[in-house]
Amino acid sequence: VPAAEKKRWTLSDFDIGKPLGRGKFGHVYIAREKRSNHIVALKVLFKSQLKQSQVEHQIRREVEIQSHLRHPNILRLYGYFYDQKRVYLILEYAPKGELYKELQKCKYFSEKRAATYVASLARALIYCHGKHVIHRDIKPENLLIGAKGELKIADFGWAVHTFNRRRTMCGTLDYLPPEMVESVEHDANVDIWSLGVLCYEFLYGVPPFEAKEHSDTYKRIVQVDLKFPPKPIVSSAAKDLISQMLVKDSSQRLPLHKLLEHPWIVQNADPSG
């Protein structure tokens, strides 16, 4: 709906449908824009909660960043509006829902499915990095599934333009690379680390540095305490790729364009993504 982006949206422009999920800051509903009959997802955020979490600036940055991103594996944010108490994000609807629920159901993915997802995410991140945007919060909870089973990166609430890198801590610890856990300067290579963590979790069903206590996860990340369980059986090519991504020195991580040429990706990823 390109032309409509300039327009001032209000709640009366939409028929609201069933709730799709409830996040930390508010609920997501399926909705239909009345004039175009276009189906969207509407995320409703309470201003009170945004204020007390001091994340209003992040919403504005997210809208600004997302307004320039157009990629088949990035969930569109068409626009936003607000009323007295709430802020509404108008989002592309992902008919097959949340990836993490799919991962919980399957326990772990086949190498073909994992490689196809990782390749599509690598292409989306190459696109973002080309626009000096780093996502910084790549994890199963922020991945949705489109109508054709393709992955869509959602929630750029933690994304930044690389010229103004910030040291704020993100969501769950599991996905943070050493430089963010040690809160030193970080760059686009943080997304390569998180993609490596994601690839491991796709194949084993658990993230690589999981531990009971936060402090133990922190230690395992900064020591890059990477171990591959004996079960499920995973190819050495997959382990080789993961080992080249989960490298402490961010400049030594396998660049994303090299990832797309890695034998495990070439042999297992479905080119259509």
**Residues noted as catalytic:** 137
> Is residue 14 a contact point for ligand AK4 (CB under 6 A)?
no
Count CB neighbours of 55 within 10 A. Answer: 18
Which segment (16-24, 130-138, 176-184, 209-217) binds ligand AK4 by CB under 6 A?
Answer: 16-24
> Is residue 157 a contact point for ligand AK4 (CB under 6 A)?
yes
Near ligand AK4 in 40-99, by CB under 6 A: 41, 43, 45, 55, 58-59, 62, 75, 89, 91, 93-94, 97-98
How far is residue 162 from each of residues 54, 135, 187, 197, 260, measured CA to CA in Å? 21, 10, 7, 22, 23
- Rounded Cα–Cα distance for residues 80 and 59 (Å): 10
Nearest approach, Cβ of 248 to ligand AK4 (angstroms)?
29
* Nearest CB to ligand AK4, comparing residues 94 and 160: 94
Near ligand AK4 in 125-154, by CB under 6 A: 144, 154
* Nearest CB to ligand AK4, comparing residues 98 and 191: 98
Farthest-apart Cα atoms in the chain, separation? 56
Nearest approach, Cβ of 208 to ligand AK4 (angstroms)?
25
Nearest approach, Cβ of 149 to ligand AK4 (angstroms)?
14
* Nearest CB to ligand AK4, comparing residues 100 and 218: 100
Using CB under 6 A as the criterion, which residues of the chain lie in contact with ligand AK4 when the complex forms? 20-21, 23, 25, 28, 41, 43, 45, 55, 58-59, 62, 75, 89, 91, 93-94, 97-98, 144, 154-155, 157
